[in-house]
Structure 1
Amino acid sequence: MDDIPDRADIKVTPPVIFSFYLAIGFLFAWGSSLHVLPGVLARGLGISLLLAAGAVAATAILAMNRQGTPIHPRHGTTALVGEGPYRFTRNPLYLSLVTIYFGLALLLNSFWMILFGIALAVTLHKMVILAEERYLEDKFGEAYLAYKAKVNRWL
């Protein structure tokens, strides 16, 4: 029997990473009055980002469900998804998480949350995305490499 798990080698799941940065960001936002934009502009952009992130996440989940592949990164992928937002980004759910974070950062108009949003994107890239890409290359070979060659990682 093969003892190699059929999933990416992810140590910490994306929701845990997101929650960590969100808690830290909220603490810094609460303790600081450093703003990034005028209030009305920041709130408008924040709401826009949250709505866009929700739309991207919803369509990504629908696309994965149509292909019958699990959403949770600790489960094995059963199919490559190249429809919906997966035509434009290889990681629409992670893009949505980062966009939600930036939307909240703008709603709070927090300079510190903007900085932590960048750290969130870097952490997701290093701890999750690279491991998932190695797994998908091993599992799907040329089909994934072809997809990877035509679709950007983030946008």
Structure 2
Amino acid sequence: MAHRDLPGVIAPPPLIYLGVLFIGWGLTRIGTWPEAVDAGFGWLAAGFGLEPRLRQGAAVTLIIAGLLLDAVSAGLFRRRGTAVEPWKPSTVLVSDGPYRFSRNPIYLGFAVTYVGLAIGMDSWITLLLLVPCLVVVDRFVIQREERYLAAKFGADYLAYRQKVRRWL
């Protein structure tokens, strides 16, 4: 069997975030929660404790910030001539721009956008579902990518990994 130059991620990361977001939206639409759950998250259930205008402003700000981080990070990949999509081969190790601070600024941007959307939807359950979403992305996308990059770029990637945190 020939070696494939791919990290073997389980699914495109944007689909993971969107899938979990839609699950949260669906659960919010159902809206039948035991009183104990509502009592424990009352501050979230009440518009995240924010006035509607402030909540909407926070949502829009986070969505824009996340999308900008994604655009800048993906733009660096394109300018370097390597694939943004993790299911395609990497040709260059990108370590400048936002990659100086996070090894995964695109996934961080997705998470910030997700938080903005959850706040905009006024859905505490969607916000809470970000935790399992990040676990899936970390375990089944990022860890596979990191093994792939270590094998492909060797010492250069290992030095980069020691210098820059996974998320922030």
Name the TM-score class by shorter chain.
over 0.9
Q: 2:59 touches 2:115 (CA, 8 Å); kept in 1? A: yes
Q: TM-score, normalised by structure 2?
A: 0.86
Q: Which has the larger radius of gyration?
A: 2
Counterpart of 1:147 in structure 2 is: 160
Counterpart of 2:42 in structure 1 is: none
Q: Per-residue CA shift, 1:60-82, capped at 9, x if unaligned?
A: 01110111100111101000001
- Percent sequence identity is 36
User: In structure 2, what is the Cα distance between the partners aligned to 1:37 and 1:123?
Assistant: 29
Counterpart of 1:51 in structure 2 is: 64
Counterpart of 1:138 in structure 2 is: 151
Counterpart of 2:75 in structure 1 is: 62
Q: 2:70 touches 2:109 (CA, 8 Å); kept in 1? A: yes
Instruction: Give the match's secondary structure for 1:36.
Output: helix
- Runs of 4+ more than 4 Å apart: none
User: In structure 1, what is the Cα distance between the partners aligned to 2:135 and 2:65?
Assistant: 21
Counterpart of 1:108 in structure 2 is: 121
User: In structure 2, what is the Cα distance between the partners aligned to 1:48 and 1:142?
Assistant: 38
Please state how far the C-alpha of 1:58 moved relative to its aligned partner: 0.9
Please state how far the C-alpha of 1:154 moved relative to its aligned partner: 0.7
Matches within 5 A, 1:31-50: 31-32=30-31, 34=45, 35-38=47-50, 39-50=52-63
Q: Extract unaligned runs of 5+ from structure 2.
A: 32-37, 39-44
Q: 2:67 touches 2:110 (CA, 8 Å); kept in 1? A: no
Matched positions, count? 154
Please state how far the C-alpha of 1:139 moved relative to its aligned partner: 0.7
